[in-house]
Amino acid sequence: MSRVRYGSRAVNRLSRRRVLAIAATAGVGVSVAGVTGLSLAGETSAKDDGQPLVISLRDASKGTFDIFSGGSKTTLTDKKLAARLLKAVKR
Amino acid sequence: MSSHREAPEISKDPVADSSDLYAFVSPDDPDTVTIIANYVPLQLPASGPNFFEFGDDVLYEIHIDSNGDARPDLTYQFRFRTELRNNNTFLYNTGQIKSLDDPNWNRRQFYSVTKVDAHGKSTVLAAKLPCPPCNVGKISIPHYESLAADAVKKLKTGEKVFAGQRADAFFVDLGAIFDLGTLRPFQNKHLVGKTLFNYAGKAVNATDKLNVHSIAIQVPLSTVRRGGKKAVRGRDPGAVIGVWTSASRRQVQVRQGDKKNTDVEVGPQVQVSRLGNPLVNEVIVPMAQKDLFNSLPPSDDKRFAGFVEKPELAGLLPVLYPGLFDNLAKLVKAGTPRADLVAILLTGIPDGLIDNFQNTTGSTKADMLRLNTAIPPAKDPKAFGLLAGDLAGFPNGRRIEDDVVSISIRAIAGVTFALVDETFKPDAAAGLVEQGLSIKNVSSGLLKKFPFLGTPFDGFDNP
C-alpha cells in the first residue's frame, strides 16, 4: 500500500474511524459515514474521530483511492481493496 | 457585467459568484483601506419567502498581497451560519423586525471572521457577528437603515466589518453591450445598429434596482502594507497592495435526502470563483477557459497573459464600428502585444509613465486589483479615474463610482497604448467612447461612510 499525504491525517488511522458503508464503481466511487454536518464551513476539529469520511475509488484499475476527511484529502493505492469493492457492487 | 455570471459554471452557483470587488483608501478614514467583495448577484428585491443569503457551505475570502508575488500575505476568511428560531412557520419574519435580535426575525445569518497571515497561521477575530436581514419591505422593517448600521462591527484588532444585503452599485448597459457590442450612445455608428437607428441612444443601467450580498472590511493601512508601515511615499514599492477575492467549496458533498442534517461536506476547499480587476474573466478570457480561471490563484495568471496582450475585443471594435478605430485596427493587424493592458491588469503601472504615479507590484503577471495606498482619496473623484487624471481612481484600486466599463473600453480601444509607444496615435473615437452611464444612474445612491454601498432596494416598493 502506497500513501500520499495532502492533509495532516495518515491513512492508517482509517480503521479507527466510523466508515459505515462503502460503495464503488469502476470510475468513480463513493462511501459515506453519516455522522454530523459541519457547523461552519472549514471549521472542523482534526481530533474528532466522529467526523465523516468519504472514500472515492478514482481509478479502479490502479486501485487509487481518494480519502476525504475534514479539510484534507489523502490518496492511497490498494488494488486488492479495489477488487473487493468492485466485487461487492458486482462490477 | 463586472463579474456577474461571468463564467459558465459559476453562473449556476450564484451564492458563490463574486460580482464586484472594490478597494480604495477610505474617504471616511484615510488611514484605512476599504475592501468590498460582492456576491449573490442580480437579486430581485421581492424574493419572499426565501430571501437571499450567503452560503453556509461556502468559504469567502479577501486576499491581500503586499510584496508583489501574487500570493496572499494577509487573508480574511468569512464563514456563515444560518439559524432558525421557529421550525413551525414558513415565514422569514413573523412580525416587524426592529433590531438584529428581534424575536420576530425567524431566519437569521451569522458569520465569523478569520485572519490568516503569510505563514498560514489562522486567528479567529470574531465568532458570531450578525448579518442584517434582507430588506423585505417597509411594513416588515420600518427602519432598515439603522438596523443595517447596527450590523457594522469594529473588531478588537482594528478592522471594521459588515456582511449583508446591499444595493448593487455597479452600472452597466448589459442589454446593449452583449447585443453585439452595442454602446447605445454610438448605436447609429454600429455595423448593424446604423441600419436600425439614425440617432444616438440613451444607455440603460441593467443592474439598477437589484441587490447583492456584500462582504465589506475596512483595514488599517499599516496592517496591509509591507513591513507594517504607517506612512509611505507614493514611489515606495511597499505602498502598493494587490487585492482579490475568492469563494471555495468543499471538494466532496454527499446529500442524504430527507436526513438533511446529516449531509456531508468534507475535503479540501476547492476554489470556484475569483475576482481581481473587473471584466478580466468576463471580457478577456475565452469562454472555454473561464471556469479554469476561476479555479486558479492569481500567481498562475501567466497562462492567461496572451489574452490580455491580444484582447479579442480590440479586434472587434474596428469591425463593429467601421471607420472609427482605424489606428486600432492597424495595431491589431501588426500583432503588437498590448504592454499597456498588461501593465494595467497584470503587473501594475510602473513609475514614469504617468506623472507622480505608480502602482506596480513587479514582474509577476497576476490579475489583482492594485492600489497605491499612499495616494489619498480624491476630493473631487472623476468617473474616468486615472484616464481623467484622478490618481485615486481605477485602475488604481477601484472606487464604487468609477466607470470601469467605459475606462476598460477606452483602454482596449487604444488610449493607453500611447503610454508605452509614443508613436501610436489613438483614434479620436477611443477617447470619446463610453457606455453612457454614471453613478447617477444607480437609484440607491451611496452612503458617505462604511460600508458605502446604498440601502438595498426593498421588496414592497420594488415588486
pLDDT tens, position by position, A43-73: 544 455 678 899 999 999 999 999 999 999 9
ipTM for this prediction: 0.79
CA dist B293 and B287 (Å) reads 10
Is residue A88 classed as helix, strand or coil in its secondary structure?
helix
**Helix or strand (DSSP H, E) at A84:** helix A79-88
Interface of B with A in 303-362 (CB under 8 A): none
Of A40, A52, A54, the CB nearest to B81: A40
| B248 φ/ψ angles, rounded to the nearest 5 degrees | -135, 155
With an 8 Å Cβ cutoff, the interface of chain A facing chain B consists of: 6-7, 30, 32-43, 51-54, 56, 68-73
Q: Looking at residue A52, what is its pLDDT?
A: 87
Q: Which chain A residues touch B259 with a CB distance below 8 Å?
A: 34
CA dist B196 and B194 (Å) reads 5
Q: Check whether A27 has a pLDDT greater than 60.
A: no
Q: Which three cell numbers stand for residue B116?
A: 490568516
CA distance to A20, A81, B317, B351, B441, per residue, from A17 (Å): 9, 17, 61, 58, 58
Q: Are A41 and B256 within 8 A, CB to CB?
A: no
Is residue A47 classed as helix, strand or coil in its secondary structure?
coil
| B249 φ/ψ angles, rounded to the nearest 5 degrees | -125, 155
Q: Which chain B residues touch A69 with a CB distance below 8 Å?
A: 266-267
Q: Check whether A42 has a pLDDT greater than 70.
A: no
- Please enumerate in sequence order all residues whose Cβ is within 8 A of that of B186, keeping only pairs 6 or more positions apart, or say none: B193, B200, B321, B324, B433
Is residue A12 classed as helix, strand or coil in its secondary structure?
helix
Grade residue A6 by pLDDT with cuts at 50, 70 and 90: very low
Four-CA torsion B155, B17, B110, B97, nearest 10 degrees: 110
> What are the average pLDDT values for consecutive 10-residue runs of chain B, which has 463 residues?
85 97 98 98 96 97 98 98 96 98 98 97 97 98 98 98 98 96 96 97 97 98 96 96 98 84 90 96 95 97 98 98 98 97 98 96 98 98 98 98 97 96 97 96 97 98 93
pTM equals 0.91
The position carrying cell 466510523 is A18
Determine which of B110, B252, B260, B261 to mutate to test the interface with A (most A C-beta atoms within 10 Å): B252
Grade residue A38 by pLDDT with cuts at 50, 70 and 90: very low
* Nearest-Cα residue of chain B relative to residue A73: B267
- Rounded to a whole number of angstroms, the distance from the CA of B68 to the nearest CA of chain A is 27
Is residue B128 less than 8 Å (CB to CB) from chain A? no
Query: Distance between the two ends of chain A, CA-based, in angstroms?
Result: 22
Written as one letter, the residue type at B436 is: G
Q: Check whether A1 has a pLDDT greater than 50.
A: no
CA dist B196 and B317 (Å) reads 19
Whether the CB-CB separation of B214 and B38 falls below 8 Å is answered with yes
Count interface pairs A-B at CB distance under 8 A: 69
Q: Are B264 and A30 within 8 A, CB to CB?
A: no
DSSP-derived letter for residue A51 is: S
Q: Which chain A residues touch B266 with a CB distance below 8 Å?
A: 51-54, 68-71
Q: Looking at residue B60, what is its pLDDT?
A: 98
Q: Are B265 and A38 within 8 A, CB to CB?
A: yes
Is residue B267 less than 8 Å (CB to CB) from chain A? yes
CA dist A39 and B5 (Å) reads 29
Of A33, A34, A42, the CB nearest to B269: A42
Q: Are A32 and B254 within 8 A, CB to CB?
A: yes
Of A39, A43, A69, the CB nearest to B266: A69
CA angle B421, B423, B425 (to 5 degrees): 95
Q: Check whether A24 has a pLDDT greater than 80.
A: no
* Nearest-Cα residue of chain B relative to residue A7: B268
Q: Which three cell numbers stand for residue B92?
A: 422569514
Q: Are B262 and A43 within 8 A, CB to CB?
A: no
- Rounded to a whole number of angstroms, the distance from the CA of A50 to the nearest CA of chain B is 12
Cis check: omega of the bond before B49, within 30 degrees of 0: yes
Determine which of A32, A51, A67, A75 to mutate to test the interface with B (most B C-beta atoms within 10 Å): A32
Q: At what angle do helices B326-334 and B312-320 cross, to 10 degrees?
A: 140
- HSE-CB for B427 with a 13 A CA cutoff: 24
